[in-house]
């Protein structure tokens, strides 16, 4: 199987959406794969001159990297379109590439029989056996209701029902260390979807349902997302990165774990001379900088160590045994850490 991945993210190889595409490819199994990273290419906007239909049939007069993408599409059996949602559609650079598909069509008018629009143009090449998969992340808490523009575009390009999709809300969580257990589970479901697609030509209903579940409940995600920007509520003052990270961690707090006892957790970043208190209470987990309360539990840790522990890169108990960080006070909070800050309760209501 020959697969072309068209990565339309301006972030290039650091794209969140591309992580999903790579997981899908793992599920496909053994493939011959080419990547076309739009952000690394020179692709001018279509001039609308229609020379590719008359003066130079099948060839664009603009000499840039768009020609490579067209050749790779003719080569591939499966084309994976990977991109983040930008203003309810594809990113601008990817739209330029899509506009430059014109040489692949003949100029003649045809009627469509799939219910998409009131006309079209026949393909210059035999594209009937090619398959398309559209993979995208967005910053909203859910993909539902936000991809109508994308679906309309690909309905016209590929034909309604002639492509598979993986649309993932809460996409920025793939950059949050504390959310790694959740995002790893989602990537595993994407991989399983690729496996089913290779076998059956579609993602199965059970996996589809899992891919539609929220990574975090709406309220938790939006709190997490708001904290991630690292700015004050008025959008002006820049917050210290340790405060931003601590707020993100606090946003993962599960209120249902409250057992009638408020707990004060103090985190001291020993190499940054920064300290914060988290109040684990009935209604949430606010973060304060004044550290005025008497803490129940104190974590003394270098900044990078706590990032690694939170992301799962190193185990917390192993890090303690190696003396990488220290715990003082009530240790039961640490014993119940996953209960307070774990990944449970993220099902869609």
pLDDT of residue 236: 65
pLDDT of residue 347: 36
pLDDT of residue 230: 66
Residues (pLDDT < 70) of the chain are: 230-237, 342-349
142-150 contact pairs (CB < 8 A, 24+):
142/169, 142/170, 142/214, 142/218, 142/348, 143/167, 143/168, 143/169, 143/212, 144/169, 144/212, 146/85, 146/88, 147/85, 147/88, 148/88, 149/88, 149/89, 150/85, 150/88, 150/89, 150/90
Domain extent listing, the chain: 2-215, 252-341
- What tokens were used for 34? 């080419």
- What tokens were used for 249? 């961690």
pLDDT of residue 329: 95
pLDDT of residue 32: 96
Q: Hey, is 269 helix, strand or coil?
A: strand
CA distance 139 to 225: 8
CA distance 185 to 211: 10
- What tokens were used for 338? 């996953």
**Residue 294: Cβ-neighbour burial (10 angstroms; 0-12, 13-18, 19+):** exposed
pLDDT of residue 244: 84
- What tokens were used for 108? 């003649």
pLDDT of residue 345: 36
Q: CATH says 252-341 is which class?
A: alpha beta
- What tokens were used for 291? 């550290």
- What tokens were used for 295? 């803490």
- Of the candidates 199, 196, 198, 170, the residue with the CA atom closest to the CA atom of residue 183: 170
In the sheet with 2-7, reading across from the earlier edge strand, the strands are 32-37, 2-7, 78-84, 131-137, 163-168
pLDDT of residue 344: 44
Q: Kindly report the three-state secondary structure assignment for every residue of 107-141.
A: CCCECCCCCCCCCECCECCCCCCCEEEEEEECCCC
pLDDT of residue 292: 93
Superfamily (CATH H level) for 2-215: Flavodoxin domain (3.40.50.360)
């Amino acid at each position: 199987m020959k697969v072309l991945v068209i990565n339309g993210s301006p972030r290039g190889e650091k794209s969140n959406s591309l992580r999903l595409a790579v997981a899908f490819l793992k599920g496909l199994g053994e493939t011959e794969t080419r990547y076309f990273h739009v952000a690394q290419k020179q692709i001018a906007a279509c001039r609308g001159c229609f020379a590719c239909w008359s003066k130079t049939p099948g060839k664009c007069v603009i000499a840039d990297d768009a020609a490579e993408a067209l050749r790779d599409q003719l080569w591939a059996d499966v084309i994976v379109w990977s991109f983040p949602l930008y203003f309810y559609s594809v990113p601008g650079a990817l739209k330029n590439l899509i506009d430059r598909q014109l040489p692949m069509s003949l100029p003649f008018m045809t009627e469509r029989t799939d219910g998409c629009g009131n006309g079209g143009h026949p393909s210059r090449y035999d594209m009937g056996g090619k398959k398309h998969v559209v993979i995208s992340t967005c910053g909203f808490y859910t993909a539902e209701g936000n991809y109508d523009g994308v679906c309309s575009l690909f309905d016209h390009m590929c034909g309604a029902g002639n492509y598979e999709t993986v649309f993932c809300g809460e996409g920025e969580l793939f950059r949050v260390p504390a959310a790694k257990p959740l995002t790893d589970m989602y990537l595993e479901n994407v991989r399983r979807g690729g496996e089913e697609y290779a076998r059956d030509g579609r993602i199965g209903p059970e996996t589809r349902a899992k891919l539609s579940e929220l990574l975090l409940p709406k309220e938790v995600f939006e709190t997490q997302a708001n904290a991630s920007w690292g700015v004050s509520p008025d959008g002006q003052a820049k917050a210290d990165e340790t405060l931003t990270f601590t707020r993100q961690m606090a946003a993962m707090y599960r209120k249902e774990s409250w057992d009638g006892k408020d707990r004060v957790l103090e985190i001291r970043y020993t190499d940054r001379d920064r300290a914060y208190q988290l109040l684990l209470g009935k209604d949430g987990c606010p973060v304060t900088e004044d550290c005025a309360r008497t803490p129940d539990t104190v974590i003394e840790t270098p900044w990078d160590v706590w990032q690694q522990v939170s992301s799962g890169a190193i185990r917390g108990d192993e890090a303690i045994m190696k003396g990488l960080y220290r715990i003082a006070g009530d240790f039961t909070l640490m014993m119940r850490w996953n209960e307070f800050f774990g990944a449970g309760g993220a099902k869609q209501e």
